[in-house]
Structure 1
Amino acid sequence: MAGKDQHVTKNSDGTWNVKGAGNSKATSIHPTQKEAIDSARQIAKNQKSELFIHGSDNKFRARDSYGNDPKSSKG
């Protein structure tokens, strides 16, 4: 079973959140978007979920999938 999708979003103070889908609190807070993306990517890989990256305006800008491993599909 896949884990929660991870979102990278910008805070009003300029820091960046990593937050699991549906969570009210950030999993982690980072000074740069790159650091937040690196952290969120690792979580998404571990949980076999999706990574959603939002720009500085918090509009969706990119997505990576870590939950669709064709080798693990059962036919």
Structure 2
Amino acid sequence: MPHQDGWAVRGAGAERATETFDRKTDAVQRGREISQNQGTELVIHGRDGQIQSKDSHGHDPFPPKG
């Protein structure tokens, strides 16, 4: 998510950033690593703070049908 120093990785419900990065791609990469390790959902925000995308790495109660 956007941060005063660039981009931040922050856990759900946390007030403080876990890590900050200059580039969004670096923050997304680190967030994805954490999300995969913890089996949680990754939520990616744009510069305006709006959610751009989500990626689930845990138990998905609504998996895609296929």
Q: Note whether the superposition's TM-score is higher than 0.5.
A: yes
Q: Check conservation: 2:7, 2:27, Cα contact below 8 A.
A: yes
Give the TM-score taking structure 1 as reference length. Answer: 0.75
Displacement after TM superposition at 1:10 (Å): 0.5
Q: Unpaired runs of 5+ in structure 1?
A: 1-8, 70-75
For this pair of structures, how many residues does the alignment match?
60
Secondary structure at 1:20 match in 2: coil
Indicate the structure whose relative CO is greater, using CA pairs within 8 Å and at least 6 residues apart: 1
Per-residue CA deviations over 1:20-50 (Å, capped at 9, x if unaligned) read 0111110000001100000000000000000
Task: Report whether the alignment pairs 1:37 with 2:57.
Answer: no
Q: Unpaired runs of 5+ in structure 2?
A: 61-66
Give the TM-score taking structure 2 as reference length. Answer: 0.85
In 2, Cα distance between the equivalents of 1:10 and 1:16? 5
Moved over 6 A (4+): none
